[in-house]
Amino acid sequence: MKEAISTALAPAAIGPYSQAVKDGDLIFVSGQLPIDPKTGDFPSEDAQEQARQSMENIKLVLEAAGYGMERVLKTTVYLADIADFAAVNEIYAQYFTEPYPARAAFQVAALPKGAKVEIEVIAK
């Protein structure tokens, strides 16, 4: 049965979607923009700082469901500029250990609010 996962510690959804949805033991975390939940703004225009904020937001949503980053099976990383791939990868690597989640990463034409990074995950 589908259940919405929500926490006031992470940024609220900016549209008609849940921060995450749990069905059985699977959790689908919506794409997390690098919005600082305390300020409502991006931490900076730096891709690495934005990636760190997106990952922290994911961590908070997972924790609201009683899960940790070690339970992430799959990630998708959306980049406004693929040239930021290596810089974002450095931050991303700080949040996971082997065996690493499966991942897709690609450049998109644009991200909401002019973000440089958006990351979504599936965890079990």
**What's the CATH code of the domain at 22?**
3.30.1330.40
Domain ranges, residue 78: 2-123
Distance of CA 80 to the CA centre of its chain: 15
Q: Cα–Cα distances in Å, from 26 out to 67, 101, 121?
A: 10, 14, 11
Instruction: Write the single-letter amino acid at 61.
Output: V
pLDDT at 95: 98
pLDDT at 26: 97
pLDDT of 56 reads 98
CB neighbour class for 20 (10 Å; exposed up to 12, middle 13-18, buried from 19): buried
pLDDT tens-digit profile, the chain (124 residues): 899 999 999 999 888 999 999 999 999 999 999 999 999 999 999 999 999 999 999 999 999 999 999 999 999 999 999 999 999 999 999 999 999 999 999 999 999 999 999 999 999 9
Query: In total, how many domains does the chain have?
Result: 1
